[in-house]
A and B are shown apart, each in its own frame.
Chain A
Amino acid sequence: METRELICTGCPLGCPLTVTLEPGGPVVKGHTCPRGEAYGRSEVLDPRRTVTSTAAVIGGRQARVPVKTAGAVPKDRIRDCMEAVRRLRVAAPVGLGDVLLPDCAGSGVALVATKTVERT
């Protein structure tokens, strides 16, 4: 049976996890809390990450606005999301939480601003 050694990234404790791929689904050991178990399962079944970057702002008090995907996107879509952010130009004002792309690079997850940038 295949086992994988992971480090839970659910919180800074970083518990060492052992995930065994049983016929009935992955079995997680080593977690301290339920988040760790969920992380271990999803990390072998459907690994996801939140993408953060900055996008260009036009006419704002700052040249860039920080952004993030509103939820985690499949790991293999990270590059596409970054490319979508690179092409993005946002007009000021931008508010914290504003949806900048409803579906970031076809990931099914929105891209939102994580800071308010006023107009100049």
Chain B
Amino acid sequence: MRTTDIVIIGGGPAGLAAALAAREAGVSDLLILERGNELGGILNQCIHSGFGLHTFREELTGPEYAARYMDRVLAENIPFRLGAMAVRVTADRRVTYISREEGLETVQARAVVLAMGCRERPRGALSIPGSRPAGIYTAGAAQRLMNIDGYRVGREAVILGSGDIGLIMARRLTLEGARVKLVAELMPYSGGLKRNIVQCLDDFGIPLKLSHTVVDIHGRDRVEAVTVAAVDGQRRPIPGTEERVPCDTLLLSVGLLPENELTREAGAAMCAATGGPVVSDRLETDLPGIFACGNVLHVHDLVDYVSQEAALAGESAAAFVRSGGGETGRRVRVAAGNGVRYTVPQFIGVDRMAEAAVVRFRVTDVFRDVCVRLSLDGRELTRRKKRALAPGEMEQMTVTRSDLAEARADSVLTVELEA
């Protein structure tokens, strides 16, 4: 069987940054597997600007951001296969993939980096009644059709869900001459970045209807209208608030799901709150030598954080190849406390952690003027004031090795909000 030091599954921004970091850490025998026909992942269809402000101090479009990493991958001669889809990963790090040139191929890797990204929640995952006419797309599929294939998707649209992709598509459709009648959001707040609400909706006078949902879809062959209704505190439609909105297109932007079939089949422990695997501060899953980063680990709104996180996964994989690993010693659990939906990582291997570890998290609701508190077994380590927190924006806190010096094997590090 062929062997490779590190196999990286997925050639999006996460996979590319992981590969570059592993190479920088001295591992030359790498292989990136990408099922698509180009590197860059989802960035290829994200033609709007707003990428890379943190990393490059400029505002790049998705393809430009991807090109910065692709150029380096080419310059470093890092091997990659396009049209190569990984179909199986085992706990002992055998990766099987299918490609047209090679057919079915298996590689024994010393370390594996999972960077498969995420996919959109389809309509089936919701339960909108009504018929199934043409004209219903997930926002990302519509984005791909318009931006890569150059199709028009519709003339009059309603968008369900105010996540970033939905907002970006509202502007894109409007600029292409379509009329976006409204964006309906089930929750009382938007899941998208504020800047996208300003630049994609407010700029064009597109109404954002919070606490509203689509309760019916009309039309036989093509969408003719949808019924939108207000919802109550339990997110149930309120009778009498229904409004019929004529349109020929319905875009669904109702959330992203990390793509973890391979991870699950390999037997990695999963985290229900993120939909991704449970990882340590070095982004190692509970399967030694298998690491995860990017949207497959938890859904990110900013690609800069994806690249940072992925670089850590690449470095950790390189360290594993050099000196083996698996988590030994004290293993501190990281808990999501009051107001916090999840944390990544879910545990910290204190005895082998770096000087500091970044704990990323999302909050459960919109909060104003609160403190984020980090405590070890109830003893406060740090707190930081925040003017505003929202579920749509990922936050982070740093914990240092000296913070955890006195941790016991069963200690708990809690991230929580305090008024």
Binding site for B on A (CB under 8 A): 6-9, 11-12, 14-16, 49-54, 56, 62-64, 66-68, 75, 78, 82, 96, 114-116
Contacts and interface: CB of A to CB of B under 8 A. Distances in A.
A105 to B, nearest CB: 13
A16 B150 CA distance: 37
Given A49-B203, A68-B49, A115-B67, A7 B198 contact: yes
A114 to B, nearest CB: 4
Interface string B59-87: 11111100100000000000000000000
A114 B175 contact: no
A3 to B, nearest CB: 17
A54 B147 contact: yes
Interface in B349-401: 387-388, 393
A91 to B, nearest CB: 16
B147 A14 contact: no
Nearest to B71: A96
Given A11-B53, A78-B175, A114-B47, A66 B63 contact: yes
B45 to A, nearest CB: 9
A116 B193 CA distance: 29
B407 interface: no
Contacts of B387: 15
Contact of A52 (B44, B49, B197): B49
Contact of A9 (B62, B149, B195, B302): B195
B3 interface: no
Contacts, number: 78
Given A53-B175, A96-B67, A115-B67, A9 B198 contact: yes
Contacts of A16: 388
A52 B53 contact: no
B47 A66 contact: yes
A68 B53 CA distance: 16
Interface of B: 44, 47-50, 53-54, 59-64, 67, 146-150, 175-176, 193-195, 197-199, 203, 301-302, 387-388, 393
Contacts of A63: 148-150
Contact of A114 (B63, B199, B388): B63
Contacts of A9: 194-195, 198-199
Contacts of A8: 195
A66 B40 CA distance: 14
Nearest to A14: B194
A117 to B, nearest CB: 10
B388 to A, nearest CB: 8
Contact of B47 (A15, A52, A56): A52
Given A7-B194, A49-B203, A68-B61, A12 B393 contact: yes
B415 to A, nearest CB: 19
Contact of A54 (B47, B194, B301, B388): B47
Contacts of A64: 147-150
Given A64-B150, A68-B49, A12 B175 contact: no
Contacts of A53: 47, 175-176
A51 B176 CA distance: 12
B233 to A, nearest CB: 26
15 contacts: A7-B198, A11-B54, A12-B195, A14-B193, A16-B388, A52-B47, A52-B61, A56-B150, A66-B61, A66-B63, A82-B176, A96-B63, A114-B47, A114-B64, A115-B63
Contacts of B175: 51, 53, 78, 82
Contacts of B388: 16
A112 B198 CA distance: 25
Instruction: Pick the 4 closest A-B CB pairs, nearest first.
Output: A14-B194, A66-B47, A9-B195, A115-B63
A62 B38 CA distance: 11
Contact of B59 (A50, A67, A115): A50
Contacts of A52: 47-49, 61
B47 A75 contact: no
A112 to B, nearest CB: 10
A25 B60 CA distance: 31
Contacts of B148: 62-64
Contacts of B54: 11
B198 A50 contact: no
Given A7-B194, A12-B301, A49 B199 contact: yes
Contacts of B48: 52
Given A64-B150, A114-B64, 13 more contacts: A7-B195, A11-B54, A12-B301, A14-B195, A50-B49, A51-B175, A52-B61, A53-B47, A66-B47, A66-B62, A66-B63, A66-B147, A96-B64
